[in-house]
Structure 1
Amino acid sequence: MPSLVLSDLSFCWPDGESAFDGVDAVFPPGRTGLVGRNGAGKSTLLRLIAGRLSPDRGSITIGGDLAYLRQDLTLDSTRAVDAVLGIDAQRKTLHRIESGDGTDDDYTAVGNAWDVEERAVATLDRLGLAHIAPNPEALDRTVGTLSGGETMLLGLTAALLAEPDVLLLDEPTNNLDLHAKQRLYAAVDQFPGIVVVVSHDRDLLDRMGTIAELRDGELRFFGGDFTHYQEIVETEQEAARAAVRDARADVRRQGRELIEAQTKIDRRQRYGRKMESSLPPILAGERKRQAQVSAGKLRGNHQDKLDDARRTLTEAQDALREDKEIRIDLPDSVVHPGQRVFDLDTELPTGQHVTLNVTGPERIAVVGRNGVGKTTLLRAVTGAGPAVPWRVLPQRLDVFDEARTLAQNVADAAPHATDEQIRGRLARFLFRGRDADVPASTLSGGERLRAALATILLAEPPPRLLLLDEPTNNLDLPSLRHLTEALTQFRGAVLVVSHDLPFLREIGITWWLELSESGVSEVDPL
């Protein structure tokens, strides 16, 4: 039986910050959704399990073979399709044999994998990617020629082609169109071993049999799907909020009683001093000593009760989830009705002729299947030279100098901003203190998106046109809510490529465009 067990797992980053300390977990058979806020360490945990990172202490025991779909797969734009599939070495060996140059070692290396190219093409076809590699020769093309959604499905193909017992998926629905998501859902449903999925896709998480929450470096398992998990958490939070209210009331009550006790003590002491003046010195001294002992006991009893009440309040507050959330304030950039934004009249490399004339603060959604050319359309808009200041959030998030720090990258986009302004902006996106000084190459997918948003919003001059390519990828639900609210209040123009239909509806799209092989056409809201 496939198995996945973590024992006393501990890991610290090079700067000494602890990610996990003594985590013990046994993942159940079937599908487990790994959830947690951005930066909680979900991708780090998968990298540890996959052997891409080494733990400082503890062990990871895997029963069977493991396959891992990385979140940042789209960044490897120069890799060939067969390399992503993990069959590049086998193909070279087969080609040597077929050309008559094969050695005994080549025949041994091939083993029973004579049909590896055909199986790869068949698996691509099963996931709707037959157009990527309709024949074995097409396996030589690079990831850079594919869309983000096609790249993620390619990574899933690679994972399934390995026929693993344990499958790790990190944000597998990123960039996927609706049909591609359905194919991925079916593949996950049909997988016979253990699946661990990191995702913010509610539909996918509701297909899980178990939810594992990563919070403050600890794992907690909940039986059932994501909706059931949220119901449990909300019930616990209602109880925690009630406990906090009761504890605060008790602190106030104990504080009042301590003050009342002190008042009584003061009154008795004034009365005692009057009585002592009429008593012999020995009796007066004994009476004073007894009064001090009694007052100390009374005061100490009420102070103990107040301290207990404060400890109870602290424990109740610790049970509350006071998670950090990003804060987005888009620049107050106005595009007036009738103001020219951009004109586009071009033929895309994908073959479609596109004509667009955009004026005023339009909110345009571009939808269509993976690989049809939506990202290419956004590039064409930037190449046409918009008539207003613009900024683009690319799907691959490849906007950083990987060797420079996050703060340095933001400074490059806003050369006139002070260091204080830059760090203040980054703090609103949860990069506080030394978090702003990490190299861009170390950022997770969710961190890269937050960092890219911070860079765009501090750019000079402030953008009046936002070009957003799959902006909801990797965002946790609270961050998605903040992004939605910010875009709703933005007074400039927006051109957004997304497969997240609820998000598109909520930001008030005014013009829905579908890109297909024949070109761009206006469609009714989906």
Structure 2
Amino acid sequence: MPSIALANLSWSTPDGRSLFSNLAMSFGPERTGLVGRNGVGKTTLLKLITGELSPRSGTVSVSGTLEVLRQSVQVAMDETIADLFGVRDPLDLLSRAERGNATAHELADADWMLEARIAGALARAGLEATAETPLSRLSGGQRTRAAVAALIFREPDFLILDEPTNNVDRSGRQAVIDLLAGWQGGAIVVSHDRELLDTVDGIVEMTTLGATRYGGNWSRYRERKAVELAAAEHDLADAEKRIAHVNRSAQETVERKARKDRTGNKKAARGDMPRIIAGGLRRKAENTSGENARLAERMRTLAMEDVDAARQKIEILQPLAVTLAPTGLPVSRTVLRIDDVTAGYDPQKPVLRNLSLEIVGPERIAVTGPNGSGKTTLLSMLTGALQPFAGEVRVPVKSAMLDQRVSLLDPALTIRDNFQRLNPGADENASRAALARFMFRADAALQVAGTLSGGQMLRAGLACVLGGPEPPLLLILDEPTNHLDIDSISAVEAGIRAYDGALVVVSHDELFLEAIGITRRLELGVSSA
């Protein structure tokens, strides 16, 4: 039976930082989602499995064939679907055989069912094309479907997928989801796409402490994590009760000793007790008092350790909840108006034609459509970076744009300094309080923006834009969940849910759009370019 086995696997970054050590797990013919925070080593683990990297120690044993679905399909101008499938030479042989130009030896090697198998794989991937179709003519989503078809054609024992739905339009994303949902072999998928992860048979969660396997799909995994959170909260309450009990008992012991000491001192003062006995009792009392204090301190230390452990677990498991200052946006206020706009980068081939849109009050608009349909063009107009060829764009209110790079942050400044730059009236206390609401507490607020991970960067951008005393009335987001781990997506969702202004967001993540309460959609068609 095909399998992948990891034994005592360890890996360190070039600067010596250990990502994981003594990792041991196995994968059979089931679909497994690999999740965990960015930087924990998920992609590195996939590269160790595929042989792109060699482990520092331990072994990777693979029984069966592997194929990798890349995030994007890079193509040359002359490449066709046949090249992607790796069947150019066998197809050429069939072509020569039809013309009568193949030798008897070549005819013996011919795969007469090849064309039918290619057509079947393309049909299963939902792509209307042939082996001769140039890849350069396909959209991004169609190229993803072509890559999916190539995997179906090769029928490997294991699929390896590393963030396969990043930067993919809805068509390509659905092709990947359908592929994994119907896959009968083994698969290991690293993804933050919760809809994709709902098609798997099990979840492996990687943390700095190792890896833990959970049976069932993403939804089942989240149910288990909710149970773990409830257990951690119960453990925290128990530990805090023990601390209170230890403190009360220690106080009661001190008070009892004080009463006994006062009685003994009175007897000694009256001369009711011989001096040698009084001295012995005093030493015994001191020893007992010291032992009681040490015992109480040990019990208090153990309880405090339990409290810290429970709080750390809760910090990891508990979803972020954010409270923001209200924008005060009236329901009748126009925040955006686009009148009969034609725009793009070449006047002869505009990307958007005759587009009109009006947003009034705290509406939440999702801009969707296949890659190339004009979503980025639209956002560029909203920010003033691009002027339309015809028509008018007006944004009569304070707005802010968060792109995937969060370019409004100065990478050379700390998060706190960025906050104060974008919110000039905020003092140190207000800045720290706002950043703490987005989990940048104490020294975390002093991290330099350029050193942050993608999830931290977007969370910092939200904190700086939304956490001030006067949040913008319109927030514009461009694919905010790309390259984020799932914990970061949850934090971003919490921040946006707490925002009461108007929202324009470009995203292919349907669960994200649902979570942030989208009220209307603008579906853009494929451009004529």
Cα shift at 1:370: 5.7
* One-letter code aligned to 1:126: R
Given that 1:350 and 1:373 are in contact with CA atoms closer than 8 Å, whether structure 2 keeps it comes out as: no
1:251 aligns with 2:260: no
* One-letter code aligned to 2:367: V
* One-letter code aligned to 1:199: S
1:136 aligns with 2:132: yes
1:269 maps to what in 2?
261
1:18 maps to what in 2?
18
Given that 1:150 and 1:176 are in contact with CA atoms closer than 8 Å, whether structure 2 keeps it comes out as: no
Match of 1:227 among 214, 219, 231: 219
5 Å matches for 1:415-434?
428=438, 432=444
Q: Distance in 1 between matches of 2:476 and 2:132?
A: 36
Q: Distance in 2 between matches of 1:45 and 1:174?
A: 19
* One-letter code aligned to 1:383: L
1:367 aligns with 2:377: no
Residues 96-132 of structure 1 deviation map (CA, whole Å, 9 limit, x = unaligned): 9999xxxxxxx99xx97999999767645532343xx
* One-letter code aligned to 1:290: K
Residues 265-319 of structure 1 deviation map (CA, whole Å, 9 limit, x = unaligned): 2332333334345255444433433333444444444444444444444555555
Given that 2:144 and 2:172 are in contact with CA atoms closer than 8 Å, whether structure 1 keeps it comes out as: no
Cα separation, partners in 2 of 1:342 and 1:79, compared to 1, 3 Å: farther
Q: Distance in 2 between matches of 1:220 and 1:392?
A: 38
Given that 1:331 and 1:463 are in contact with CA atoms closer than 8 Å, whether structure 2 keeps it comes out as: no
1:524 maps to what in 2?
none
1:286 aligns with 2:284: no
Q: Secondary structure at the match of 2:14?
A: coil
Q: Secondary structure at the match of 1:232?
A: helix
Cα shift at 1:261: 1.0
1:383 aligns with 2:386: yes
Q: Secondary structure at the match of 2:189?
A: strand
Q: Distance in 2 between matches of 1:480 and 1:415?
A: 25
Cα separation, partners in 2 of 1:177 and 1:252, compared to 1, 3 Å: same
5 Å matches for 1:26-425?
26-71=26-71, 73=72, 82=79, 87=84, 123-130=121-128, 136=132, 138-140=134-136, 146-147=139-140, 149-150=141-142, 152-174=144-166, 180-277=172-269, 278=271, 279-314=273-308, 316-317=310-311, 320=314, 322-323=316-317, 337-338=333-334, 341-346=337-342, 349=349, 353-358=353-358, 360=360, 363-369=364-370, 372-375=373-376, 377-378=378-379, 383-384=386-387, 386-388=393-395, 397=404, 406-407=411-412
* One-letter code aligned to 1:497: V
2:100 maps to what in 1?
none
Residues 318-369 of structure 1 deviation map (CA, whole Å, 9 limit, x = unaligned): 5545358778879969798246644452276487733225365554333345
Q: Secondary structure at the match of 1:383?
A: coil
* One-letter code aligned to 1:47: K
Given that 1:205 and 1:226 are in contact with CA atoms closer than 8 Å, whether structure 2 keeps it comes out as: yes
Q: Distance in 2 between matches of 1:409 and 1:315?
A: 30
C-alpha root-mean-square deviation of aligned residues, in Å? 5.2
5 Å matches for 1:421-500?
428=438, 432=444, 436=448, 466-476=475-485, 479-487=488-496, 490=499, 494-500=503-509
Q: Distance in 2 between matches of 1:114 and 1:189?
A: 30
Q: Distance in 2 between matches of 1:493 and 1:305?
A: 53
TM-score by length of 2: 0.71
1:512 maps to what in 2?
521
Cα shift at 1:227: 2.7
Cα separation, partners in 2 of 1:135 and 1:66, compared to 1, 3 Å: closer
Q: Distance in 2 between matches of 1:368 and 1:199?
A: 22
Q: Distance in 2 between matches of 1:68 and 1:178?
A: 21
Cα shift at 1:167: 1.1
Q: Distance in 2 between matches of 1:374 and 1:134?
A: 29
Q: Distance in 2 between matches of 1:55 and 1:434?
A: 35
Cα shift at 1:260: 1.3
Cα separation, partners in 2 of 1:39 and 1:113, compared to 1, 3 Å: farther
* One-letter code aligned to 1:346: T
Cα separation, partners in 2 of 1:269 and 1:165, compared to 1, 3 Å: same
Cα separation, partners in 2 of 1:128 and 1:2, compared to 1, 3 Å: same
Given that 1:94 and 1:114 are in contact with CA atoms closer than 8 Å, whether structure 2 keeps it comes out as: no
Cα separation, partners in 2 of 1:260 and 1:197, compared to 1, 3 Å: same
Cα separation, partners in 2 of 1:261 and 1:162, compared to 1, 3 Å: same
Q: Percent identity?
A: 33
Q: Which sits farther off after the overlay, 428-437 or 471-480?
A: 428-437
Q: Distance in 1 between matches of 2:88 and 2:406?
A: 34
Q: Which sits farther off after the overlay, 83-92 or 471-480?
A: 83-92
Given that 2:319 and 2:490 are in contact with CA atoms closer than 8 Å, whether structure 1 keeps it comes out as: no
Given that 1:426 and 1:436 are in contact with CA atoms closer than 8 Å, whether structure 2 keeps it comes out as: no
Unaligned regions of 5+ residues in structure 2, if any?
97-104
Residues 172-198 of structure 1 deviation map (CA, whole Å, 9 limit, x = unaligned): 344556665554333223323211122
Q: Distance in 2 between matches of 1:80 and 1:435?
A: 44
Q: Distance in 2 between matches of 1:156 and 1:272?
A: 88
Cα shift at 1:249: 1.0
Given that 2:438 and 2:460 are in contact with CA atoms closer than 8 Å, whether structure 1 keeps it comes out as: no
Residues 404-442 of structure 1 deviation map (CA, whole Å, 9 limit, x = unaligned): 99547999x999679x989x97995879489747679xx
Given that 1:150 and 1:371 are in contact with CA atoms closer than 8 Å, whether structure 2 keeps it comes out as: no
Residues 145-175 of structure 1 deviation map (CA, whole Å, 9 limit, x = unaligned): 844x445445444544553222122233445
